[in-house]
Structures are given as structure tokens and as C-alpha cells.
Structure 1
Amino acid sequence: MDYDANLVSMEMIAAAALDDNNNEYPMWHDIEVERKAINWFMSRCLRGFRAQILSREELFWKVEEAFILEDYIFQRSVSLEDYREKFSMACSQLGGGKEPMPPFDQLP
């Protein structure tokens, strides 16, 4: 998958970061990239809240989901099924549209 040429959702990042054959991280997996991707997602949630697209409660749950994902990434203490379920919820559209994700090397 060419991340530079596509609109990338968090779900696509999850799929790319996990090796579905054995549910482990592939050799090229970069935790810093995942951390930046989650930070990028959370900043979009805050933007949605400030623009009154997300309610305070919706923002709370989105941030909660991001922390659950981060916990899985760094400690692998969340089951893969829970991880996928939470990522699916976290990937729901914010404000009715997806924003293009910058290339990984340009994530803040």
C-alpha cells in the first residue's frame, strides 16, 4: 500500500500494522509511526470537538478508544479482537468525512 498516494484511515493503518497470518507485528513495524498516527487521529478528534462536530461525550469516547489502541501497541495487553473492535469504532467518520492523512514521514 502506498501511503503517500492514498487517503489513509486509522483502520487501514491497523490492517497494515498487523500481520493477519499470525497476529503479530511484521518485521517492518515501527512503534513511533503508530504513536504518531494515533496522535494524528486524536488531534482530528479535538478539531471535531472545537468545531462542534463532536460532543464532549463523543470526544471522551474517541480519546478513550485511542488510549486503548495505544495500550495494545505498547503493552499488547488488549486482545486482538478487542483491538480490532475498538479500532473500528475509532475509525468511524468524524464530521461526515475523512481527511487525507499525510505521509508517515510528515506526521507531526
Structure 2
Amino acid sequence: MYAVIKTGGKQYRIKVGEKLKVERLDAEEGNELVIDQVLMIADGDNVSMGKPLLEGAKVNATVLGQGRHDKIRIFKMRRRKHYQKHQGHRQNYTEIQITGITG
């Protein structure tokens, strides 16, 4: 059994017991989350798709922690123009573990 959910502007294919890092959510470590933006649920040959969301479907998850990804270095340069620009970015994330899919 798996589901496709939408959170943080991205879509994720998930299964029960899976850990994943999503865009930062306002939740403390150890709290339970209910994600109600479920796009699809598949259980063997039974596939339920929403238009665009499934009514009454939800995914339960536990927050494992908050963190930041590795730094991404951005370097821009124009040759022969004496222009160089250095920039860095670290994206925040929330690590969750899927505990249940209902729908």
C-alpha cells in the first residue's frame, strides 16, 4: 500500500514506515502530524485518485526532527567582465516517519 501526498509544494510517494525529509513544518520533535492533502492511494490493484484531492483520506506521521540540508554553493561569473558572485544556501527541513495511511 502506498500513497501520493502533497506538502511544501512538492509531491511524495510514501509507504508506511518510510522516513523522508520534507519542507519545514511547524511541529516539534515527537509530535504527531496529520497530512490531509492526499492525491492518490493504491492498495494492490485498487487505486483511488482524487480530483485533485481524495475526500476523507489522510496520512499520519511522526516528527523525528528538524534540520538543515548541506550547503549549496552558487558561483556566477561573466568572463572578461571582472564579475564574480559567490552565494550559499542551506534549506530547512523536517524529517518525518509515516505511521499510517487511511482512506
What range describes the TM-score normalised by the shorter chain of this pair? Answer: under 0.3
Q: Radius of gyration: which is bigger?
A: 2
TM-score (norm 2): 0.24
> Which structure: greater strand fraction?
2
Q: Give the number of the structure with larger relative contact order, counting CA–CA contacts within 8 Å between residues 6 or more apart.
A: 1
TM-score (norm 1): 0.23
> Which structure: greater helix fraction?
1
